[in-house]
């Protein structure tokens, strides 16, 4: 039982490059999330998806885009990477967002933009 799987685990980008972070969950959860975690700070929500085909902005969406074409997958895109996007990115999923149910997190993607 894999839970939430993120790929890649590590990535180095040059400023201006684009890339997509991938997230897959096998728990049939409706809601999925992308967070970033910076040193000494709490997790901040980038985007979330309450169900397949729907997405909404979180606290820090600028410079990112997302897609949820399949229920089990949630993709996070960086259009033109900037050094300020150097961070650890976590994907999470839960049965429902509205009831604040338990979220399961992936192992994280450590992204460095040089």
Question: Residue 32 and residue 114: Cα distance in Å, rounded?
Answer: 29
Q: Return the number of the residue (19 or 45) whose C-beta is nearest another protein.
A: 45
Q: Return the number of the residue (19 or 103) whose C-beta is nearest another protein.
A: 103
* Least distance (Å) between residue 43 CB and another protein: 5
DSSP state of 51: S
* Least distance (Å) between residue 15 CB and another protein: 25
- The token pair that represents 26 in the structure block: 């096998």
Q: Is 88 in contact with 36 (CB distance < 8 Å)?
A: yes
What residue ranges bind another protein (CB under 8 A)? 4, 40-45, 90, 92, 96-108
């Amino acid at each position: 039982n894999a839970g939430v799987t993120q790929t890649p685990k590590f990535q180095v980008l040059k400023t201006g490059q684009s890339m997509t972070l991938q997230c897959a969950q096998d728990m049939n959860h409706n809601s999925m999330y992308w967070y970033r975690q910076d040193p000494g700070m709490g997790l901040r929500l980038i985007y979330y998806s309450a169900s397949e085909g729907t997405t909404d902005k979180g606290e820090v969406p600028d410079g990112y885009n997302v897609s949820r074409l399949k229920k089990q997958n949630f993709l996070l895109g960086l259009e033109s990477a900037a050094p300020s996007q150097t961070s650890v990115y976590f994907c999470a999923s839960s049965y429902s967002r509205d009831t604040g149910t338990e979220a399961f997190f992936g192992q994280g993607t450590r992204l460095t933009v040089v």
